[in-house]
Amino acid sequence: MKVKITCVQMDIAFGDPNKNYEIAEKRIEEAMRENPDIIVFPELWTTGYDLTRLDTIADKNAGTTIEFFKNAAKKYHVHFVGGSVANRGDKGVKNTLLIINNEGQLVHSYSKLHLFKLMDEHLYLDAGEEKGLFELVNRTFGGVICYDIRFPEWIRAHTANGAEALFVVAEWPATRLSHWRSLLIARAIENQCFVIACNRSGHDPNNQFAGHSMIIDPWGEVLAEAGANEELLSAEIELDLVKDIRKQIPIFEDRRPDLY
């Protein structure tokens, strides 16, 4: 089964959700020229890392962002791995990934499990507790957020439960670009799955971000990679390749979880 993916590698207007919705609307219109099945956005794309103001600029129950993607999904008949947003609930703010299908239905949400203390996330965000497993195009996928990729046991918790592709949404800094590339390729190889990673570009008052969104096959081959600037990155993936590779090298059958 072939699926066309387009990643929206965008710069983010710091702390300005209204401006970012305007930017996103234009990027979706541009992305549809690629005729994708799934469009992917980066992490915290509505606010950026304006953490100190999340109490006022976070999206209440992610409602505005969900409605934004629902309308776009129905207009263009396209699926969204809608990046993540600062999602303000009754007890705090979470960094929440949104999955919307091409009929405009919210399929799944996942809140970032591992908070990145180097960027003070733990001071302003609450960690999630659920897996990022979801169904789209009648296949099983996993969705994680940025720092999550440094925890291979968390990624395996998804692929061991059937995920054939891993969607990663991020605001990964340019100073650790080599880690970004190496970790993503490793996660693809060791889990024998596709990795679709959408990072932001540009900078905020404290950070320069790497860009370099990537689409990687289960052998670890990079099918497409963006540069450092704003870009739409597209590639077609063949999901049936996952089953074939897992038969050739049956790592899931040969695991010894009773001993580790």
What are the residue numbers of the active site?
43, 112, 146
Contact 93, 86 (CB under 8 A): yes
Greatest extent of the chain over all pairs of C-alpha atoms, in Å: 52
Residue in the structure block whose two tokens are 């900078």: 203
CA distance 57 to 48: 10
Joined together, the tokens standing for residue 248 give 């050739």
Contact 177, 20 (CB under 8 A): no
DSSP 64-78: HHHHHHHHHHHHHT-
Joined together, the tokens standing for residue 46 give 């509505």
